[in-house]
Amino acid sequence: MGNEASWQEAATTGRFAGKTVIVTGAGIGQATALRIVKEGGKVIAAVVVAAGGRVDALANVAGIMDNFAPIHELDDALWERVFRINVGALMRLTRAVVPLMLEAGTGSVVNVASETGLRGSAAGAAYKHAVIGLAKNSAVMYGPKGLRFNAVAPAPRSPTLRPTGDPSWPPSDSAR
């Protein structure tokens, strides 16, 4: 974008003070957890019972990639594994925390999808659309009850995300 050198991260002291947040995933998930702690929050691994009956926010970050195969080459086992982890687990964890948020009358859920879930892609486009759809549906269902649901869609540049079964990912800069 040309302005990366001028951007500076600025933590907001106390933004998460007194808040309990569940964060899943490595990479972006770890960065999210560290930021929440830096800003005064308490981070719980993805175990709802450990939250002690209070969950202020949930960051659904964990996910795996498919193998970038076109649909006619995609096998059922990989399809089912990607959906089980990326959509099923996200839905189940969200379903587990929503009653606690409803009881408190407030809460926030952020689902991390991908910008390819907005425009389509060779990689995992269907599950990314599902993650975004769950956030949209939940916002409509629970917004009037004080809960916020959002999906964020970062660009696919993370070296921690790689096609399943491809240890050579990401390609070298010369191959891009």
**Which of 74-78, 118-122, 132-136, 165-169 is predicted least confidently?**
165-169
3-class secondary structure, 124: coil
pLDDT at 176: 34
pLDDT at 48: 53
Q: Which of 19, 38, 42, 127 is catalytic?
A: 127
pLDDT at 121: 64
Please give the sequence-ordered ranges of beta strands (E in DSSP) within the chain, or none if there are none.
Answer: 20-23, 42-44, 57-60, 107-112, 147-152
31: which 2 tokens?
């960065």
Do the domain assignments include residue 171? Answer: no
Q: Which of 19, 38, 42, 128 is catalytic?
A: 128
Q: Which residue has the higher pLDDT, 169 or 54?
A: 54
pLDDT at 103: 93
Do the domain assignments include residue 20? Answer: no
Q: Domain with 72 in it: what CATH number?
A: 3.40.50.720
Q: What is the pLDDT of residues 15-40, one digit of tens each?
A: 878 887 777 766 677 777 778 778 88
Do the domain assignments include residue 91? Answer: yes
Do the domain assignments include residue 32? Answer: yes
What confidence category does residue 164 fall into, taking pLDDT thresholds of 50, 70 and 90? Answer: low
CB 20 within 8 A of CB 41: yes
pLDDT at 27: 66
pLDDT at 52: 63
Q: Distance from first CA to last CA of the chain, Å, rounded?
A: 17
Do the domain assignments include residue 47? Answer: yes
Threshold 0.95, pTM exceeds:
no
Q: What is the pLDDT of residues 128-151, one digit of tens each?
A: 889 999 999 999 999 999 999 999
CB 90 within 8 A of CB 111: yes
Nearest of 139, 145, 84, 144 to residue 111 by alpha carbon: 139
Range of the domain at 122: 25-154
Number of domains in the chain: 1
Q: Which residue has the higher pLDDT, 102 or 44?
A: 102
142 is catalytic: no
Nearest of 92, 103, 111 to residue 149 by alpha carbon: 111
Do the domain assignments include residue 93? Answer: yes
**Residue 43: which region, alpha, beta or left (left: phi > 0; alpha: psi -120 to 50)?**
beta
Do the domain assignments include residue 67? Answer: yes
pLDDT at 7: 61
Q: In Å, what is the CA distance from 97 to each residue of 21, 26, 28, 56, 122? A: 11, 20, 21, 9, 32
Do the domain assignments include residue 174? Answer: no
